[in-house]
Structure formats: C-alpha cells, structure tokens
C-alpha cells in the first residue's frame, strides 16, 4: 500500500504550467524598449519639445536675414473740428473732413556685429480734403538709412553665441529623454515580469500544496499522519490559493501600467521573455566619463549658463553711463497732385540725428546692477563647479554599480539552480517520509526566494545598463555615440 501511494504521488505533476493562448503577445525587453521610444506619450512629448526648440532656433536665424514688410492704412477717415489760430491771435474751430491713405514698403537688415539696423524703403501718402475738393500726394520714392546705437549693449552678439548652444542642447536633451524612456520602460517591463513569475510560482506552489494535501489525506486515512500535520497542509493549501488570487491581480495591474506607458492599445495578453542573455561590452570609468562629458546635455548647458551670466553683466554695463544713438537717412522726396507725379522730379532728402542720454545722478543704481550681475555670475560658477563634481560622481557610481551587478550575476544564477535542485530533493524525501513538512516548506521558500533574487538581479542589471546609456549618450554594446 505504501509503494502504491508513493507511485500515485509521483505520478501527479508537481508543476502545472498554464497553456499558452493563441492571443498572447510575446515581447522581449528590446521590443518593449523600442515600442516605448517610438509611440509612448513620453516619446511624443520629447519629440514635440525638440520641434519647439527647432522653430525657436529658426526664429533666431531669421533675425539676421533681411525682413521685407508692407504696412499702411487704407483709409483713415476724419470729420472733426480743429483749432485754427487767427491773425489777431484768437482761436477759431473750423470743421475739417478728410481722409488719409498711406503705404510703406521697406526692407530692414539687422547688423549683428554692431547691433544696428539698415533699411531701404519707399512710402506714399494720399490726402483728400472733402471740404475743398482737393487731393494731394506726398511720398519718398526711395529712402536708404541706418539706425546705430552707440556705447550700448548689443544683444545680437550674445545671441549668436548662446542660441546655437541652446539648439545643440535641445538635441542632446531629446536623446537623453529618449534613453530615459528606455530606462522607465525597463522598470515597467521587470515589474510585469516579476508579477508574472510570482504568478507562475504561486500557481506551481498551489499545485504542490494540493498534491501534498491529497497525499496527507491518504496518509491520514491510513493513520500515518497526525491531525495537526494534516491541518497544516490544509492551511498551506488555503494560503496558496490566496497568493494565486493576489498574484493575478498584480499581473493585471502591471500589464495596464506597461501598456499605458509604451502606448500599446492591443487588447492581447502579454507574456514577457526573460532577458537572461546579458550584453557584453567594454566598461571602463574613463570611457564612460569621456563620453558623458562630450555627449550629455549638461556639458552644453554649463557653457550656455556661463555665457548668459556674462551677457547679463554686459547688459548691466551697457545700460549704465552714456547712451547714444546715431540715425541717418538719405533718399528722394516729392509732393504732387497725382500718384505718378511723386516720381517725377523728386528732390534730395537727408536726415542725420545724433541723440544721447547721460545720467547725472542715479544714486548708484547703475553700479548696483553691474555688481548684482557680477555676483550672480560668481554664484553660477560655484553652482556649475559643484554640478560638474556631481556629474562625474554619478557616472562613476553607475559604472561601479553595473560592474558589481554583472559580477554577481553568475552567483545568482547558481543560487537559483541550487535552490531548485535542493527543493526537488526535499520533495522526494518528503514523499518517502524522510523529511518533515516544515523542512519541505523551508526548501520551497528558499527556492522561490532564489528565483526572485535572480530576476531582481536581472532587473538591476538592465536598469543600470539603460541608465548608463542615458547618462553618457553612448551605446556601449555597439561602441558608438547615440545619435540625437
């Protein structure tokens, strides 16, 4: 009877794997990361920010190109009374009804080197007096001129230095954002993978406890198992059912989170593949530091922030002290009774004006602005210096962490295999009556924990790997910079 009972127990499958469904979507870690980088909401946001920065840069470039514009009023009608001074000094209000029409066509060109502006234009003014039935035209067939600030702050010079850096910074930020998406997708991938593995473990453990309870009932009927031990087996079965129910809920939650993040609208169930094949690549601190300093957004950001601090100082100095503006225009002007007459016999016209502004007493306001800007630059320099230190430390820490994880992976693999083998031996010993239920449960717990530790070590490795990619913008596996 004992031998028959043992054979029956051995015949019962100890691990019941669920049947694969035809509507299950198999995904690897690489596939999940690629999907997230292409169609996730975060990817769309990163792409939109980059596009916004592109058009801002186009606007900056357009400021240094000729601008052609047309403006005017067609017409401006007026019916009112105006004061008219009489010869004896009195004032009479006379009714006036007229309209004015004006057109101005011009080309302007900013001068980046000096901060001034050149312009070429043509304008025409039409005046019609309804009371006197008179129409007159006045205009400038051609006007060429310039407007040049003197001793003033020149924003064009600084923008030429800063805006290209800002544009390059936006490219690198986009690349970092995309890699950060890969890192986040990796986190969610392993959250679901761990939930699925926990569900598999819970299902297998439920099968194990069901088998043990059936064997316990058979032994109890033969009087070879105490009531207390049978109740312990039943309690283990009930707990296993609860673990299966909770594990299924965790899987559903993790599936929704992953689908929501990567932008996957498919209603198919997801089954993740275990990413147990680790990438092999050269991992040195000097390589990671060099690539991070060359590629990351912060490298450009540090230069830009320093230039902006210098710009603020130059602006404070330019607004302090003597300010002058030189304006000049040269061209042709005429007045006539018809539009075409303006262009017949036009006369020369020249205008030159030099204006200036000199503060006599400002109670130190200008000097205070300069000192404030200089103090802000010192603060920026100190902040950047600390940020650079933190920058390097973050890279070195990530490299060391990844090295440790990679070295410990083999230990975790062996621990997983050893715990699984030990549990199999413990299971057989229990069926032979050579091991207590307590020792069997300990072996089961150690097996489950070793499996979870192995999966968590895989998560740590891949998360650290994608994090290092985001920190350095360098593809260590391919040995090349990540395109932005």
Same domain, 274 and 203: yes
> Average of pLDDT values for 476-483?
86
Q: What is the pLDDT of residues 137-173, one digit of tens each?
A: 898 899 999 999 988 899 999 999 999 999 999 999 9
- Is the pLDDT reported for residue 1 higher than 70? no
Same domain, 263 and 346: no
Cα–Cα–Cα angle for 114, 118, 123, nearest 5°? 160
Can you point out the beta strands (E) in 130-200?
A: 134-150
For residues 266 and 415, state if they share a domain: yes
Residue 315 counted as domain residue: no
Domain-embedded: residue 317? no
Query: What number of CA atoms fall less than 13 Å from residue 68's CA on the CB side?
Result: 0
By residue count, the chain amounts to 484
For residue 83, give every residue at least 6 positions away whose Cβ sits within 8 Å of its Cβ, in sequence order, or none. Answer: 91, 92, 93
**147 with 96, same domain?**
yes
> Which pLDDT tens digit goes with each residue over 223-271?
877 888 888 888 988 998 999 999 999 999 999 999 999 988 878 888 9
Higher pLDDT, 335 or 5: 335
Residues 380, 413, single domain; the answer is yes
Tell me, yes or no, whether 64 lies in a domain.
no
Token pair 């129409």: residue = 135
Range of the domain at 476: 2-58+160-307+374-481
3-state secondary structure of 347: strand
- pLDDT (tens digit per residue) in 44-95: 999 999 999 999 999 999 988 999 999 988 888 888 888 988 888 898 888 8
Helix (H) or strand (E) holding 80: strand 67-85
Residue 368 neighbours by CB distance under 10 Å: 13
Neighbour count for residue 483 (Cβ, 10 Å): 8
Q: What's the average model confidence in pLDDT over 314-331?
A: 87
CATH for 388? 1.20.1600.10
Backbone angles phi, psi at 93, to 5 degrees: -95, 120
- 444 burial (CB, 10 Å; 0-12 / 13-18 / 19+) is buried
**One domain, residues 103 and 146:** yes
Per-residue pLDDT at 7 exceeds 80: no
269-274: average pLDDT: 90
Question: Is-contact 78 97, C-beta < 8 A?
Answer: yes
Q: How confident is the model at residue 361 (pLDDT cuts 50, 70, 90)?
A: confident
Q: Report the pLDDT value the prediction gives residue 120, as an integer from 0 to 100.
A: 94
Tally of domains in the chain = 2
- Whether 368 is in a domain gets the answer no
pLDDT of amino acid 276: 87
The continuous run of DSSP H or E covering 126 comes out as: strand 117-129
Taking each helix axis from N to C end, the angle separating 155-221 and 41-62, rounded to the nearest 10 degrees, works out to 180
Inside any domain, residue 21: yes
Domain contains 312? no
Same domain, 381 and 284: yes
272 and 126, same domain (yes or no): no
- Same domain for 449 and 334: no
Q: Is residue 314 part of a domain?
A: no
DSSP class per residue in 402-453: HHHHHHHHHHHHHHHHHHHHHHHHHHHHHHTT-S-HHHHHHHHHHHHHHHHH
Whether the Cβ atoms of residue 172 and residue 295 lie closer than 8 Å to each other: yes
Alpha carbons 343 and 329: distance in angstroms, whole number: 18
Q: Do 78 and 186 sit in the same domain of this protein?
A: no
Query: Does residue 11 carry a pLDDT above 60?
Result: no
Structural domain ending residue among the three candidates 331, 358, 385: 358
Q: Using CA atoms, how far apart are residues 282 and 187, in angstroms rounded to an integer?
A: 24
Confidence class of residue 387 from pLDDT cuts 50, 70 and 90?
very high
Q: Binning pLDDT at 50, 70 and 90, where does residue 484 land? A: low
| Residues 280, 196 share a domain | yes
Query: Is residue 261 located within the same domain as residue 220?
Result: yes
Contact 208, 13 (CB under 8 A): no
Let me know if residue 22 belongs to a domain.
Answer: yes
> Which tens digits make up the pLDDT trace of 15-53?
333 334 447 889 999 999 999 999 999 999 999 999 999
Confidence band (pLDDT; 50, 70, 90) for 367?
A: confident
The pLDDT mean for the chain works out to 87
Distances (CA, A) of 314 to 165, 167, 219, 361: 19, 22, 93, 21
d(CA 59, CA 43): 25
> Would the pLDDT of 453 be above 60?
yes
């Amino acid at each position: 009877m004992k031998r028959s009972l043992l054979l029956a127990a051995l015949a019962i499958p100890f691990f019941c794997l669920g049947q694969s469904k035809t509507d299950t979507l198999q995904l690897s870690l690489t596939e999940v990361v690629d999907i997230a980088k292409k169609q996730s909401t975060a990817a769309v946001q990163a792409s939109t920010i980059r596009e916004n920065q592109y058009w801002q840069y186009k606007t900056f470039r357009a400021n240094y190109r000729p601008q052609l514009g047309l403006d005017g009023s067609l017409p401006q009608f007026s019916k009112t009374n105006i004061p008219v001074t009489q010869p004896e000094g009195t004032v009479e209000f006379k009714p006036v009804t007229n309209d004015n029409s004006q057109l101005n066509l011009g080309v302007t060109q900013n001068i980046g080197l000096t901060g001034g502006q050149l312009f070429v234009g043509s304008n025409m003014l039409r005046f019609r007096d309804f009371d006197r039935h008179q129409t007159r035209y006045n205009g400038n067939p051609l006007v060429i001129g310039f407007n040049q600030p003197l001793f003033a702050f020149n924003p064009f010079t600084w923008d030429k230095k800063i805006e290209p850096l800002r544009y390059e910074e936006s490219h690198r930020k986009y690349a970092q954002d995309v890699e950060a998406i890969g890192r986040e997708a990796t986190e969610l991938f392993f959250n679901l993978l761990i939930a699925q593995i926990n569900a598999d473990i819970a299902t297998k453990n439920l099968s194990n406890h069901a088998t043990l309870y059936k064997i316990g009932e058979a032994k109890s009927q033969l009087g070879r198992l105490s009531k207390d031990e049978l109740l312990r087996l039943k309690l283990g079965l009930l707990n296993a059912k609860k673990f299966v129910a909770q594990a299924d809920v965790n899987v559903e939650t993790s599936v929704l989170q992953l689908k929501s993040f990567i932008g996957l609208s498919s209603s198919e169930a997801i089954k993740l593949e275990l990413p147990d094949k680790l990438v092999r690549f050269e991992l040195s601190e000097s390589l990671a530091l060099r690539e991070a300093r060359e590629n990351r957004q912060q490298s450009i950001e540090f230069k830009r922030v320093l230039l902006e601090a210098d710009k603020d100082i130059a602006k404070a100095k330019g607004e302090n002290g003597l300010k002058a503006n030189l304006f000049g225009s040269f061209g042709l002007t005429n007045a006539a009774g018809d539009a075409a007459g303006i262009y017949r016999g036009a006369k020369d016209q020249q205008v030159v004006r030099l204006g200036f502004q000199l503060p006599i007493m400002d109670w130190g306001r200008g000097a205070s602005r300069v000192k404030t800007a200089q103090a802000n630059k010192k603060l920026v320099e100190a902040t950047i210096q600390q940020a650079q230190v933190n920058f390097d430390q973050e890279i070195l820490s990530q490299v060391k962490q990844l090295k440790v994880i990679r070295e410990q992976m083999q230990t975790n693999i062996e621990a997983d295999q050893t715990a699984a083998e030990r549990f199999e031996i413990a299971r057989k010993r229990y069926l032979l009556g050579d091991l207590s239920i307590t020792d069997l449960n300990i072996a089961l717990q150690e097996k489950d924990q070793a499996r979870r530790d192995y999966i968590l070590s895989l998560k740590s490795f891949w998360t650290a790997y994608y994090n290092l990619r985001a920190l350095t913008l360098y593809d260590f596996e391919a040995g090349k910079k990540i395109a932005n």
